[in-house]
Amino acid sequence: MAASLIGGLIADHLTPSAVTVADPRAEVLQRLRDRFGVNTTADNTAAVAGADVVVLAVKPQVLHEVCAELADALQAGPALVVSVAAGVRCEDIARWLGGDVAVVRAMPNTPALVQSGATALYANAAVSAHQRDLAESILRAAGLTLWLDDEAQMDAVTALSGSGPAYFFRIMESMEAAGVALGLSAEAAHLLTLQTALGAAKMALESDEPVAELRRRVTSPGGTTEQGLRVLDEHDVDTLFTEVLKAAHQRSRELAKLLGEAR
């Protein structure tokens, strides 16, 4: 995710020398230097010295340790902290950093790796309007951004867009298998499934109509699409996806509580 953000920012004309990346793995730092021309260091504290924005792109299980290491340095300056660590709330991040710190929590999804992500953002009360713009410009480099007024909604975002790519991959997996069962080659079924998914998403993005209307427009009475949709309705696909998202939403809430109370 960090590499995706760096790549998007540099493609958006940010000077590579304005970016410093910290990582304990020398091979990762070398790869980032070679690819992007950014500054690198193995010292987290050195990386944040004098920074306007600090992006915490680490696993949630190690976020407390990283914050504890950075607390003194970030208390000494007015830097904005942007966390893309899944499930960890702004309140806990600010507490681990020593108190009154401007924190934006971001929930990107994996298509951010190809600059087609969907990222929800939430800012705590210490974040200024200028800092909100900074945070949005960073995450927008990886795709669409959307601000939330209530951090509790982040659990719903996690269930919908955070986990959502896996749901679409699972549907695509099933469509490929069904195409093969109907006589297509594995390659043909794969390519047709991927292009159909891409085309449907592109149509929905570029249309002012709701997806329900787009569905109606491609469903001819008595035709093949109508028969296929009838099977989906008979299996109550709406209830199925409601249960899917509810399960992910509940787990997101549980993990946020566990991660926040771990320290």
Give the per-residue SS3 of 164-226: HHHHHHHHHHHHHHHHHHCCCCHHHHHHHHHHHHHHHHHHHHHCCCCHHHHHHHCCCCCCHHH
Architecture per CATH, 164-254: Orthogonal Bundle (1.10)
pLDDT computed for residue 11 by the predictor: 86
Whether the CB-CB separation of 120 and 140 falls below 8 Å is answered with no
> For the chain, what are the domain ranges?
2-154, 164-254
Q: What is the pLDDT of residues 35-79, one digit of tens each?
A: 999 999 999 999 999 999 999 999 999 999 999 999 999 988 789
Q: Is the model's pTM score more than 0.95?
A: no
Mean pLDDT per 10-residue segment, the chain (263 residues): 89 92 96 95 94 94 94 89 94 93 95 92 97 95 95 96 96 98 98 98 96 97 96 97 97 89 65
Q: Does the domain formed by 2-154 have CATH 3.40.50.720? A: yes
The yes-or-no answer to whether 2-154 and 164-254 have a common fold is: no
